[in-house]
Amino acid sequence: MGEEILREDKDYITTISINRPEKKNALNGAALVKMGDILADLQKNDDTRVIVIRGAGDDIFCSGVDLSGGGESFKETIKGMEYCLASLIGYSRPIIAMISGPALGAGLDIAAISDFRIASETAKFGVPLVKLGRTYYYTAIHRLTNLLGIAAAKELLLRGRPVDAKRAMEIGLVNQVVPSGQLMNATYSLAKELAEENAPLAVRATKIMIQKLTEHRGIDPRIEPELKALADEANNSEDAREGVRAMLEKRKPKFTGR
């Protein structure tokens, strides 16, 4: 199927495209590591002033983590996810998520980490993990709660149902919603503005200051072991295994609370 993550550099803008259409752009370990490597390289590259992250094609942004591998493959995917997300969080210049179609689970987290989210009318956003017997990781819950506030974060996290672009705009999840045919123009107009009209050192310094100020109100290390234990208990449960089996077998899961 070719490269799973594509990179294009043009006029101070780098486009990173998730290119796994056969998996609805779900991310496996190799794709996540590749994206992390690209971001690490761009961190050292002053020729790029803005990153645009998108799904290849017009149908889907990212349907989350690829859960079909199981076992060691899933462990490698989680390691890749940690590396990729750390690279995204640490990137010191603006990131724009260009969202067409679903942005689910890890796809929503990538969008939430981005500095701007431009969505088409076809976009959908959700965290369906409770329907799979799993939980969003506590760091991602913290990000989403900071971004949306408690009420809207609970709507996404506890119901596990996607919201459409209109609702995403209402709860502050996206910056702009445009007709599908205008998504590329709206995204790259913003990218061009950030890259060419604003001083790059000032933009970089401002983004870093916002990050540092946000981190200062971050997760209290005194409760982090408890948060990790809660996530691990849910994600390693029999219900979690049943949720993935049911998804792959296209049936309703039978949860037992164990």
Q: What is the pLDDT along the chain (258 residues), one digit of tens a residue?
A: 469 999 999 999 999 999 999 999 999 999 999 999 999 999 998 899 999 999 998 889 999 988 776 656 777 888 899 999 999 999 999 999 999 999 999 999 999 999 999 999 999 999 999 998 988 888 899 999 999 999 999 999 999 999 999 999 999 999 999 999 999 999 999 999 999 999 999 999 999 999 888 876 777 888 888 888 888 888 888 888 888 888 888 898 888 888
Residue 23 lies in a domain: yes
Residue 229 lies in a domain: no
Residue 203 lies in a domain: no
Residue 141 lies in a domain: yes
Q: Which residue has the tokens 């929503």?
A: 108
Sheet holding 13-18, edge to edge: 5-10, 13-18, 50-55, 95-99, 116-120, 176-178
Q: Which residues contact 29 (CB under 8 A, 6 or more apart)?
A: 73, 76, 77, 79, 80
Number of domains in the chain: 1
Residue 126 lies in a domain: yes
Return the CATH number at 58.
3.90.226.10
Residue 219 lies in a domain: no
Residue 209 lies in a domain: no
The whole-angstrom separation of Cα 111 and Cα 114 is 5
Q: What is the pLDDT of residue 226?
A: 86
Name the token pair of 247.
């998804």
Q: Count of CB atoms within 10 A of residue 237's CB?
A: 18
Residue 206 lies in a domain: no
Phi, psi for 163 (deg, rounded to 5): -115, 150
Q: Which domain holds residue 62?
A: 5-194
